[in-house]
């Protein structure tokens, strides 16, 4: 099972990805985690990424695609993978398509979790209140102001990726406002 989960921050991608990892016994591939691992391993592409990051720059699409290319060849990804946080832009989606074609691989599904942004904001505010009430610390990116910034960035950069896959006829959508188990059931139906 090779899968991309799309949707704005707070839509539940992480929750659903964890369930899919368990169900299909495939890894969830986070670009951030992969970058850190490639740097730590000292792979050629990891060394390129390290040089860019050490200089304070953003890692190029070429480097990120190189890291994904290496990662999907690892043993645990032979049965498939879930891409998390990638592609973030249409250019990355196009590069991923080219990479997969070169490797004679296809995606089994591209699924977007559709959500109501106002309801998402309410979720984030509620989660922050519950965390504080339980004596916990609210994550820096889990406060309403930071969330609005992340949501704006998503709308500008990543939302067009959904349109890209929709134009190819490969995008499936799930109502991300359903209860967690309802989203899981809808995903199961798409992936059956």
From 139, 148, 155, 185, the catalytic residue: 139
Is 139 designated active site? Answer: yes
- Of these residues, 19, 88, 114, 123, which one is catalytic? 88
Nearest Cα to Cα of residue 79 among 1, 13, 142:
1
Does the N-terminal peptide bond of residue 48 adopt cis geometry, omega within 30 degrees of 0?
no
**What is the pairing mode between strands 2-6 and 81-84?**
parallel
Of 19, 123, 127, 172, the catalytic one is: 127
Instruction: Name the catalytic one among 19, 36, 123, 150.
Output: 150
Cα–Cα separations (whole angstroms), residue 51 to 4, 48, 192 = 28, 5, 43
Which residue in 13, 48, 50, 71 is the catalytic one? 13
Distance of CA 150 to the CA centre of its chain: 14
Enumerate the active-site residues.
13, 88, 127, 139, 150
């Amino acid at each position: 099972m090779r899968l991309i989960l799309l949707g704005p921050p707070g839509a539940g991608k992480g929750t659903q990805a964890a369930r899919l990892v368990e169900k299909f016994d495939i890894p969830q591939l986070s670009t951030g985690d992969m970058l850190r691992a490639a740097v730590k391993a000292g792979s050629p592409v990891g060394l390129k990424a390290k040089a860019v990051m050490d200089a304070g720059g953003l890692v190029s699409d070429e480097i990120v695609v190189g890291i994904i290319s290496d990662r999907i060849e690892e043993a645990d990804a032979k049965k498939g993978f879930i891409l998390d946080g990638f592609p973030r832009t249409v250019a990355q989606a196009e590069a991923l398509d080219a990479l997969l074609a070169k490797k004679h691989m296809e995606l089994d599904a591209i699924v977007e979790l559709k959500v109501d942004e106002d309801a998402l904001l309410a979720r984030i505010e509620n989660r922050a209140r519950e965390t504080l009430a339980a004596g916990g610390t609210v994550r820096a990116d889990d406060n309403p102001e930071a969330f609005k910034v992340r949501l704006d960035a998503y709308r500008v950069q990543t939302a067009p990726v959904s349109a890209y896959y929709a134009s190819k006829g490969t995008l499936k959508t799930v109502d991300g406002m359903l209860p967690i188990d309802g989203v899981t059931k809808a995903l199961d139906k798409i992936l059956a």
